[in-house]
Homo-oligomer: A and B are copies of this chain.
Amino acid sequence: MLFYYLNLIGIFFFTISGSLAARDKKHYHDYFGVFFTGFLTAIGGGTLRDIILGDYPISWIKDANILLSIIIAFLFTLFFKNYIIRLRRTLFLFDTIGVGIYTILGLQKSLDFHVNPFAAIILGLISAVFGGVIRDTLLNEIPLIFAKEIYATACIAGAVAYSILTYLGVSENLAAPVCMILIIAIRIIAVKYKLALPKFDFGNETKD
């Protein structure tokens, strides 16, 4: 039950993050475009995870509450937009909460499907980030995951921590929220202190 509601909360935050992404584009979107961007951001990662796992029916087809969460989040964005956008880094925060929740939920589901731990961590990451990747790609931008600071690294750290904790016998109901908070905390701290992974240095370009 905990995970069921965490899923709906993740969907809620992803929808707001997706809807707000339209704000930064030169050409404002109409109501449908904003809704659809939010929808794709919210369901993209989970849908890809379910398709790769072959877990049919896909979650948002099976459970109408997911679509309900998206609609509520869209209406929330619609009515409280002036409040939301006045808060600094709102898009970042909402995206981060969604990513934290979805990494662990995706990892957990994959482990339930007896996927090997390394593939399960990648599937957790895909669940968390691919909604955003689809959003950015459709809006014709290089996805955040390729361009910015500690992002995937936070997810992977949280996913590895979850794998270790549950392996050591910690209950899923405890390990899951702890690792979600860990992911969110790492990402916030990384952005606050401008931490980044070292660049992959391909050597002196002039040599090429």
Instruction: Spell out A's residues near B (CB within 8 Å).
Output: 22-23, 27-34, 36-37, 39, 47, 51-54, 56-58, 60-61, 64, 67, 78, 81-82, 85-86, 115-116, 118-119, 122-123, 133, 137-143, 145-147, 149, 151-153, 156, 196-203, 207-208
- Report the minimal beta-carbon distance from A126 to chain B, rounded to whole angstroms: 10
With a CB–CB cut-off of 8 A, which chain B residues contact A118?
64, 67
A78 to B57 alpha-carbon distance, docked (Å): 41
In the complex, what residues of B have CB within 8 A of residue A153's CB?
32
Q: Tell me, in angstroms, the Cα distance from A140 to B144 when the chains sit together.
A: 12
Q: Which of B146, B156, B196, B207 contacts A37 (CB 8 A)?
A: B146
Looking at chain A's contact residues, the main secondary structure is helix
Which B residues are CB-close (under 8 A) to A30?
149, 196-200
Q: A61 with B115: in contact, given A28-B199, A51-B52, A86-B207 (CB under 8 Å)?
A: yes
4 smallest CB-CB distances across A and B, nearest first, come from A30-B197, A54-B56, A34-B200, A23-B202
- Whether the Cβ atoms of A27 and B147 lie closer than 8 Å is yes
